[in-house]
Amino acid sequence: MLKKRLLSVLVLLVMPILLLSVSPSNTALPTATSELILPVEPSGTGVVRYQEFHSDVLERSYAYTIYLPDGYGLSGKIYPVVYLLHGSGGTEYDWLDNGRAKETADNLIGSGAIPPSIIVMPRSNSWWIDGYNGKEKTAFFNDLIPHVDRMWRTIAAKDGRAVAGLSAGGYGAVNFILEHPELFAAGAALSPAVYPLQPPDASSALRHPAFLAPTGEYDPQLWSESIYTRHLGKYREQEIKVPLYINSGADDRFGIADHALTLYRELRKVQPELVEFSLVEGDHEWAVWRKTLPEALTYMYRFVSPPRKADGLLE
244-291: pLDDT as tens digits: 999 999 999 999 999 999 999 999 999 999 999 999 999 999 999 999
DSSP string, 225-237: HHSTHHHHHHHHH
Domain ranges (residues) in the chain: 33-307
In this prediction, residue 209 has a pLDDT band, given cuts at 50, 70 and 90, of very high
Q: What is the pLDDT of residue 17?
A: 35
Q: Taking residues 193-214, what's their average pLDDT? A: 97
Per-residue confidence band for 126, with pLDDT thresholds at 50, 70 and 90: confident
Q: At what angle do helices 229-237 and 168-179 cross, to 10 degrees?
A: 30
Helix/strand/coil (H, E, C) string of 157-222?
CHHHEEEEEECHHHHHHHHHHHHCHHHCCEEEEECCCCCCCCCCCCCHHHHCHHHECCCCCECHHH
Mean pLDDT of 72-76: 92
Amino acid 313: pLDDT: 54
Grouping H, G, I as helix, E, B as strand and the rest as coil, residue 130 is strand
Instruction: Please give the full DSSP string across 3-17, using - where no structure is assigned.
Output: HHHHHHHHHHHHHHH
SS3 call for 302: coil
- Band of residue 5 on the pLDDT scale cut at 50, 70, 90: very low
Cβ atoms of 168 and 88 within 8 Å: the answer is yes
The answer to whether residue 72 scores a pLDDT higher than 60 is yes
**CB-based contact 180:217 (threshold 8 Å):** no
CATH class for the region spanning 33-307: alpha beta
Sheet holding 186-190, edge to edge: 47-55, 60-68, 118-122, 81-85, 161-166, 186-190, 244-249, 275-280
How far, in whole angstroms, is CA 313 from its chain's centroid? Answer: 27
Distance (Å) of CA 212 to CA 171, 192, 197: 18, 21, 17
The residue that leads in pLDDT, 311 or 140, is: 140
